[in-house]
Amino acid sequence: MNYSQLFIPTLREIPADAVIASHRLMFRAGLLRKLSNGLFAYLPLGFRSFKKVENIIREEMDAIGALEIKPTVIVPGELWKESGRWDLFGDSLLRLKNRLNNDFVVSPTAEEAFTAIVRDELSSYRQLPLTLYQINTKFRDEIRPRYGVMRGREFVMKDAYSYHADEASLDETYQAMGRAYRRIFKRCGLTVIPVKADSGAMGGSGSEEFMVESEIGDNTLILCKDCDYAANVEKASCAADYALPEPESADSIMSIENAKAAAANTPPYEKIDTPDVKTIDDLCAFLKTEPKNFIKTLIYRAVNVELDLSGAPGCSKLERSKPSKDAPFVYTEAFFAAAIRGDLDINEVKLASLLKAGEVSLTCDADVIRLTNAPVGFAGPIGLTEIPVIIDKSVSAMNDAVTGALEKDLHYRHAAYGRDFTSWMIEDIRTVKAGDRCSLCGGELYIKTGNELGHIFKLGNKYTRSMNVTYLDENGKSQIPVMGCYGVGVDRTLASVIEEHHDEAGIIWPASVAPFHIIIVPIKYAGEVKNSADKLASELTKAGFEVLLDDRDERPGVKFNDADLTGIPWRVVIGEKGIAQKKVEIKHRRDKENRMIDLNKAVIELVKNIRDELDQLKK
Ligand SMILES: [Zn+2]
């Protein structure tokens, strides 16, 4: 294809709102233009690469037996009301009405649409398992769309939904998806970090996120230097940093017996005066000790708690709202004390998932005073009976600690877990930080921020139950299928390829997603140079490669800059002097130096190199 016939409006200047490389380069290289905030149009060059990403995803989905369908983008609001998400999704769901005043939504995701299609057709276990997918437009009315197509309002996603008679079958598809996702990202030339997470509230069945490292990523990842442990900080755990008697180390909680034994030489706990001491730092200075010798106790308010609190301290009269078959215990509001070693921090996301709570936050001072009978700053696990006390595993190893005494200006010292206090619940509620040790191998943990490109998720029967999907099993009994969902953002994947493959001059496309494989740059598109350029382009095209021929009447410098900016992997320069000796100059976009080769060897050389790269990406 000739450059002059393509619409490639490259820019010298950088768009003012473009802070990341992919956003900058997609505009500068003429791949993309902005229609409005969070709404982008792909221009010819950008759309060529976009379709290549789509096709890689399509090939890998087809290879594992997923079936592509084409549902609508506009979906009846009724389906979203059935699933319960009409109310839950909030303002990022774009709702609209037609002339008959019926509700519709512009799909941000399609569990409802797919499940409705399957519901109408599914009758027998013989039809299962079934995996359907689409590569289709989605819309989320983000408050702050940013970073170009990395976080746009309209985007294209591959979303797949699978339906199964049992968990084993779901697991098989889930595993196959995980392998397909690894291949998809590898073929796009991306280095992804698969992050396994327990999906907690969904029944603990499992999910895996595929992240790329990114300075603007909205996920904080905890990674191990020595093994492939990777977790979202919200879920990350680490090895206990205290000695546990064997064989307890596996669970990193000291048993009450062992804790008591460890406290054998600790003097009995006693009250001490700590006047005008409010913070742990004050206390440290006052007692001339370190934060790790304190038990820090905080009071939390949790809303929409779905955990059974009927046996928990102080909870017998809690107000319960709307219990259902799936959530028999829904407490509108409940209070908890959470205690952790003084040098560590409580992870509110872990706490919320432990309590199956909609939200968990530190409560107000008035509630602290009411629940602990003491001013803020003097809470502690000894004698705290008004509310359930949750302690972090780290507290189980504390046998001579300082803690609040539930009275103004008083603390206890020599407090020992097991001997002086226990808890309603003992769990890992600690925020893992850089430098903590890996629970798998003991290696050092470090932090990176990442962007999620894909997510695979076991949903269980959440949607199939709420939307009344059933089938008849082998015995003619009606059953509810289990379901999985699997998404990849196409735009975000494309932008991430540019994030990983660029330099100051522009994009450096991997061959698999490059808009063209080869750019031929005639120094002056005329005479023998033109003939040779045309012939080379036609031969390479015949060999199955995509060639862009820069036929513009521009200075060589301009053409070279545009070739670098648009990032086409192989550049062939044809000049009068070279062609007189039947030579052309070739260079990979990554390389600094070019080399002269015989014109009649150019096709073989380029074909071999591109095939090698494509094969390498597919391995
Ligand atoms: Zn490790």
What pTM was computed for the model? 0.85
User: How far away, in angstroms, is 250 Cα from ligand 1 center?
Assistant: 15
User: How far away, in angstroms, is 194 Cα from ligand 1 center?
Assistant: 14
Report strand pairing: 130-139 vs 154-164. Answer: antiparallel
CA distance 547 to 367: 70
User: How far away, in angstroms, is 590 Cα from ligand 1 center?
Assistant: 34
User: How far away, in angstroms, is 209 Cα from ligand 1 center?
Assistant: 18
List Cα–Cα distances, 21 to 148, 152, 283, in angstroms: 10, 16, 48
What's the mean pLDDT when you consider all of the chain? Answer: 93
Quote the longest CA-to-CA distance of the chain: 100
Kindly report the length of the chain: 619
User: How far away, in angstroms, is 202 Cα from ligand 1 center?
Assistant: 27
Report strand pairing: 130-139 vs 67-68. Answer: parallel
Each residue of 429-468: pLDDT tens digit?
999 999 999 988 999 999 999 999 999 999 999 899 999 9
User: How far away, in angstroms, is 350 Cα from ligand 1 center?
Assistant: 21
Dihedrals phi, psi of 569, to nearest 5 degrees: -55, -45
User: How far away, in angstroms, is 448 Cα from ligand 1 center?
Assistant: 15
User: How far away, in angstroms, is 222 Cα from ligand 1 center?
Assistant: 10
CA distance 337 to 348: 12
User: How far away, in angstroms, is 196 Cα from ligand 1 center?
Assistant: 14
> What mean pLDDT is predicted for residues 86-93?
89
Task: Judge whether 347 and 436 are in contact, CB under 8 Å.
Answer: no
pLDDT for position 71: 96
User: How far away, in angstroms, is 253 Cα from ligand 1 center?
Assistant: 20
| Predicted confidence band of residue 317 (pLDDT cuts 50, 70, 90) | confident
User: How far away, in angstroms, is 228 Cα from ligand 1 center?
Assistant: 6
User: How far away, in angstroms, is 306 Cα from ligand 1 center?
Assistant: 33
CA distance 83 to 266: 57
User: How far away, in angstroms, is 447 Cα from ligand 1 center?
Assistant: 13
CA atoms within 13 A on the CB side of 26: 31
User: How far away, in angstroms, is 416 Cα from ligand 1 center?
Assistant: 31
> Which of 44-48, 294-298, 319-323, 415-419 shows the lowest per-residue confidence on average (mean pLDDT)?
319-323
User: How far away, in angstroms, is 213 Cα from ligand 1 center?
Assistant: 18
User: How far away, in angstroms, is 177 Cα from ligand 1 center?
Assistant: 25
pLDDT for position 204: 42
pLDDT for position 420: 96
Each residue of 421-431: pLDDT tens digit?
999 999 999 99
User: How far away, in angstroms, is 441 Cα from ligand 1 center?
Assistant: 4
User: How far away, in angstroms, is 356 Cα from ligand 1 center?
Assistant: 29
Residue 609: how many other CB atoms lie within 10 Å: 17
Q: Is the dihedral of CA 8, 9, 10, 14 positive or negative?
A: negative
First to last CA, the chain: 30
> What mean pLDDT is predicted for residues 64-73?
97
List Cα–Cα distances, 609 to 428, 583, 617, in angstroms: 52, 18, 13
Task: Judge whether 198 and 63 are in contact, CB under 8 Å.
Answer: no
User: How far away, in angstroms, is 445 Cα from ligand 1 center?
Assistant: 7
User: How far away, in angstroms, is 325 Cα from ligand 1 center?
Assistant: 40
User: How far away, in angstroms, is 203 Cα from ligand 1 center?
Assistant: 27
Q: What is the DSSP letter of 430?
A: B
User: How far away, in angstroms, is 444 Cα from ligand 1 center?
Assistant: 7
User: How far away, in angstroms, is 500 Cα from ligand 1 center?
Assistant: 25
Is the pLDDT confidence value at 360 over 60?
yes
User: How far away, in angstroms, is 388 Cα from ligand 1 center?
Assistant: 34
Cα 529 from chain centre: 50
CA distance 380 to 609: 68
User: How far away, in angstroms, is 438 Cα from ligand 1 center?
Assistant: 5
pLDDT for position 248: 62
User: How far away, in angstroms, is 431 Cα from ligand 1 center?
Assistant: 17
User: How far away, in angstroms, is 443 Cα from ligand 1 center?
Assistant: 5
Each residue of 126-164: pLDDT tens digit?
999 999 999 999 999 999 898 999 999 999 999 999 999
Dihedrals phi, psi of 369, to nearest 5 degrees: -65, -45
Q: E strand or H helix at 338, and its extent? A: strand 331-341
CA atoms within 13 A on the CB side of 567: 29
User: How far away, in angstroms, is 236 Cα from ligand 1 center?
Assistant: 12
> Which has the closest alpha carbon to 588: 499, 514, 534?
514
Cα 450 from chain centre: 7
User: How far away, in angstroms, is 226 Cα from ligand 1 center?
Assistant: 5
User: How far away, in angstroms, is 160 Cα from ligand 1 center?
Assistant: 32
> Which has the closest alpha carbon to 314: 386, 390, 422, 384?
386
User: How far away, in angstroms, is 239 Cα from ligand 1 center?
Assistant: 10
Q: Which pair of structure tokens corresponds to residue 417?
A: 């877990």
% of the chain with per-residue pLDDT over 70: 97
Each residue of 179-236: pLDDT tens digit?
999 999 999 999 999 998 754 333 345 889 999 999 888 899 999 999 989 988 888 8
Is the pLDDT confidence value at 325 over 80?
no
User: How far away, in angstroms, is 232 Cα from ligand 1 center?
Assistant: 15
Is the pLDDT confidence value at 249 over 80?
no
CA distance 398 to 296: 12
User: How far away, in angstroms, is 191 Cα from ligand 1 center?
Assistant: 19
Report strand pairing: 401-407 vs 359-362. Answer: unpaired
Helix axes 602-618, 167-187, angle to 10 degrees: 150
CA distance 410 to 95: 56
User: How far away, in angstroms, is 227 Cα from ligand 1 center?
Assistant: 4
Q: Which residues pair with 413 in a beta bridge?
A: 270
User: How far away, in angstroms, is 436 Cα from ligand 1 center?
Assistant: 11
CA distance 302 to 361: 7
Q: Where are the alpha helices (DSSP H) in 136-230?
A: 167-187
User: How far away, in angstroms, is 221 Cα from ligand 1 center?
Assistant: 14
CA distance 384 to 282: 23
pLDDT for position 324: 73
**Which DSSP string corresponds to 443-496?**
PBEEEEEEEEEEEEEEEETHHHHHTT--EE-TTS-EEPPEEEEEEEEHHHHHHH
pLDDT for position 402: 95
Is the pLDDT confidence value at 107 over 50?
yes
Burial of 230 per CB tally in 10 Å (0-12, 13-18, 19+): buried
Dihedrals phi, psi of 200, to nearest 5 degrees: 50, -100
User: How far away, in angstroms, is 238 Cα from ligand 1 center?
Assistant: 9
CA atoms within 13 A on the CB side of 504: 1
> Which has the closest alpha carbon to 132: 145, 148, 117?
117
User: How far away, in angstroms, is 223 Cα from ligand 1 center?
Assistant: 8
> Which has the closest alpha carbon to 240: 396, 417, 394, 443?
394
All domains of the chain in start order, with CATH: 21-235+448-497 (3.30.930.10), 248-427 (3.90.960.10), 516-618 (3.40.50.800)
> What mean pLDDT is predicted for residues 311-329?
81
Helix (H, G, I), strand (E, B) or coil at 48: helix
User: How far away, in angstroms, is 225 Cα from ligand 1 center?
Assistant: 7
% of the chain with per-residue pLDDT over 90: 80
Task: Judge whether 399 and 417 are in contact, CB under 8 Å.
Answer: yes
User: How far away, in angstroms, is 240 Cα from ligand 1 center?
Assistant: 13
pLDDT for position 253: 86
| Predicted confidence band of residue 540 (pLDDT cuts 50, 70, 90) | very high
